[in-house]
Structure 1
Amino acid sequence: MGNHRHENGNDHKESQVAVVMVPLPAQGHLNQLLHLSRFVSAASIPVYYVGSARPSSGSTAGTLPQQLTSISKNSHQLLSATLHLIPINPTNSRRSSFHLFVRPYISVTFYKFVAQLSSNFRRVVVIYDYLMSYVVQDIGSLQNTESYCLRCVPAFTVYSFHWEAAGRPDDVPAEATAVLKEIPGLDGVFSPDFDEFRRVQNGSRKIFSGDIYNSSRAIDGGFYLDLVAERKITGTEKLWAVGPFNPVVFPEKGGSRTRHECLDWLDRQSPNSVIFVSFGTTSSLSNEKFKNWRMGWKEASRSSYGW
């Protein structure tokens, strides 16, 4: 990574810590680690954001145009060979390509990359998306390297998934049971491709120092954070809820910046009357299906409708 602003490897070794971010290449996951990178880099810590140049640069341009100028962002071409070979095919009944992200060479290439950094820095910290566990599974053999798993969902979601998979047991505190029983089952929630992808991640070797949540006790409720930790739901009792990561920028008084019109529209609606529907970056629909879905939703809602 010769374009880093510090060229002297010995200087790194004596005083520097490097942080390597490993996001899942999907928009909602890319952004979370991108926001976290901004916080880390604010402490003058070099950050290496590992991923495909195409999605990561798009995220930067679209969400953090100025805040990321301080990040030593090296968009290492680790996953680009895989991602660029996946054309979007809206006629394909299998709308997810998660299984194509898992390739043995990705893990090997990443290990070599981190090994190179570990020889130039006194300490290397890897923060990886849980759904990239396969990629980072071998770095535990590097003595001056440690890893932390980023959970891109709240502790409540992690615990509810575990509770569902365990057959909805009764050994849950009463204050949690009432809420958990209102959650629909997971049948049909994930595509077969994504389930296959998750199984690979779950089966990967996990040597990590703890979990990081893009959440807080005020948002997630300390109750579920404590449950996940005490019962070691993810394999560790060490977790840190240090979110939300996304930056909040307050407009200057008298400035020309205005709110987006959709927020003004939202303010005019009555409470509990709006449903927000969003498609992920791994979803694709043909124009015909897209049109039919939109019209069907409008007719079914029988109410005000924004698109």
Structure 2
Amino acid sequence: MEKNTPCIAMVPCPGTSHLIPQIELAKKLLHLHPNFTISLLIPSLGPPSPSTTSILQSLPPSINIHFTILPHINPQDLPPNADIPTLMLQTVSHSLPSLSQALTSLASSRTRLVALVLNAFAVDAIDVAREFGLPAYVYYPSCATALAFSLHYPKLEDDDGDDGIVVCRKFGELELKEPLKLPGCMPLRAQDLSDLIQDKSTALHGTLLHLCKRLCLADGILVNSFVDLEPEPIKALQNVAPVYPVGPIVQTESNISSNSSECLAWLDNQPTNSVLYVSFGSGGTLSPEQFNELAYGLELSGHKFLWVVRAPNVGAADSSYLNAQKDDPLEHLPKGFLDRTKGRGFAVRSWAPQVEVLRHGSTCGFLTHCGWNSTLESVACGRPLIAWPLCAEQRLNAALVSEEFKVALRPKVNEKGIVGREEVSRVVKCLMEGDERKEMGRRMEVFKDAAVKAFSKDGSSTKTFETLVTKWESLKN
């Protein structure tokens, strides 16, 4: 390898749902511009999890992606009982000395460092990039609408601001004087933002405020969306910030294990468009009551389903994000459930090869937590959705796919904050057999074709990468 080989250093944050998009971004860049090399510098809370190890070991040896797991930080340096976003931010922040050492090593190797591409929770590393004279870009792995809100977040006030919005919480519920209208975006209501706008007294508010303010310090923001999906939000963002739509960045294949291949074999024996895929992502969990209502609702619907079952949790919906569950999730299913749904349903423990499941001809639709990775994977495979958000920006994503894109159904929550079994059954039947299914499927096919077009020879995202690469190759570090 010649010294002139341009190298991009990428810094993800803990958690496979953040590591995977960064790796897929690296793959896409190298597919379009194979003269580059990518070095992943990975902060860690502790020894890598089995899933992280599997993901890294499965990197194709034929492409120039290398990785270094930075020394894990001292857990005593972390605030006690911290929320997940704060843990991710703090892990990166305490890893900055190790990151600086890794960059020094890279700079002395036979490569030419040209840029640092950071996860949205790794924005504190912008300071390290400045020390090395490197441009710092943030990879924002969610939609352009969510990015617009993130850039606006520091402007929100408890009292009347310039935009006339009043933000307050009453009995724990977020209230807005009127929907938040950001340039180019659909109006955002309180229920869409309830997990994003935090009380000023909370640590989470401080974390989000810090992240959003530092986004503006980056030399550019790469957003995982594409022009034909969010034309107006992207246009509005590019009027105020250096925003680069590079999506859809999605997995094209999963790591197939013997256990996960069983569900694909089961799908092979099902009729075309007959199965509902049910999954809440890499760490999403339901309360015990909601878990049971979902199970009974799937049973009541009478339709075929493939359910990635995670054990219920009485804590926060994302509390298992950085911690592997130890319980056998199938033991928590209602008594007799597996017997009653045998042949019609397939329950898989904790993980399934999602890309292959969504691509399979037997899969009709996807009941999802609306994480943006899962949403884009469904778009790429043309599968309509049942939107069941749990936390973070998922409620905003759910509003986007159900009301703006009109490719998703949204189950109604009862007075106890639960989606009851009858409601589960109703939305499943609507998706699997109702007239709405055909119209949502038609719209999703349009987005699927647009996703392919984005990375055609003259596609919008291909041109975006060309613009970025031209900038990076011109640097003379």
TM-score strictly above 0.5: yes
Q: Which residue of 2 aligns with 1:268?
A: 274
Q: Residue 240 of structure 1 aligns with which residue?
A: 244
Offset from partner CA, 1:196-243 (integer Å, 9 cap, x none): 432332354864321112221123x2211011121x2xxxx2222122
Amino acid at match of 1:216: F
> Tell me, which stretches of 5 or more residues in structure 2 are unaligned?
157-162, 166-178, 254-262, 308-477
Q: Distance in 1 between matches of 2:289 and 2:243?
A: 44
CA displacement at 1:68 relative to structure 2: 5.4
The alpha-carbon distance between structure 1 residues 146 and 265, as it changes in their structure 2 partners (threshold 3 A), is farther
Cα distance, 1:206–1:215 mapped onto 2, change above 3 Å: closer
**2:96–2:128 contact (8 Å) kept in structure 1:** yes
Output the amino acid matched with 1:49. Answer: L
**Equivalent-residue separation in structure 1 for 2:40 and 2:130 (angstroms):** 19
Give the match's secondary structure for 1:124.
strand
Whole-Å separation in 2 of the counterparts to 1:194 and 1:261 = 42
Q: 1:239 to 1:182 in 2, by over 3 A?
A: same
Higher relative contact order (CA 8 A, sep 6+): 1
Cα deviation digits, residues 72-99 of structure 1 (max 9, x gap): 4122324x2357999xxxxx98663733
For 2:29, the aligned partner's letter is V
Partner of residue 201 from structure 1, selected from 211, 234, 237: 211
Give identity over the alignment, percent. 10
Distance in 1 separating the partners of 2:84 and 2:17? 15
Deviations 1:97-123 (A, max 9, x none): 733651654223222322443344433
Q: Secondary structure at the match of 1:246?
A: coil
Partners in 2 of 1:58 and 1:172 — Cα distance? 39
Aligned to 2:67, the other structure's residue is in SS state: coil
Offset of 1:151 from its aligned partner? Answer: 0.8
Alignment of 1:24-43 (within 5 A): 24-42=13-31, 43=34
CA distance in structure 1 between the partners assigned to 2:83 and 2:272 by the alignment:
31
In the alignment, which residue of structure 2 is the partner of 1:214? 224
Closer, same or farther: CA 214–128 of 1 in aligned 2, 3 Å: same
Q: TM-score, normalised by structure 1?
A: 0.66
Q: Secondary structure at the match of 1:50?
A: strand
2:96 aligned partner, one-letter code: S
Q: Which runs of 5 or more structure 1 residues have no equivalent in the other structure?
A: 1-5, 87-91, 250-257
- How many residue pairs end up in the alignment? 264
SS in 2 for 1:128: strand
Would the aligned equivalents of 1:107 and 1:136 in 2 still touch at CA under 8 Å?
Answer: no
Amino acid at match of 2:124: Y
Residue aligned with 1:24, SS: coil
Partner SS state of residue 30, structure 1 = helix
Alignment partner, residue 20 of structure 1: 9
Structure 2 CA distance for aligned equivalents of residues 163 and 205 of structure 1? 11
2:187 equivalent in structure 1: 180
| Residue aligning to 2:234 | 225
Partner SS, residue 111 of structure 1: helix
- For 1:171 and 1:207, the matched residues in 2 are separated by 21
The answer to whether the Cα contact below 8 Å between 1:40 and 1:47 also exists between their aligned partners in 2 is no
C-alpha separation between the residues in 1 aligned to 2:213 and 2:190?
Answer: 27
Displaced runs of 4+ in structure 1, greater than 6 A?
Answer: 83-86, 92-95
From 38, 59, 64, the counterpart of 1:71: 64
Relative to structure 1, is the Cα distance of residues 262 and 189 closer, same or farther in structure 2, using a 3 angstrom cutoff?
Answer: farther
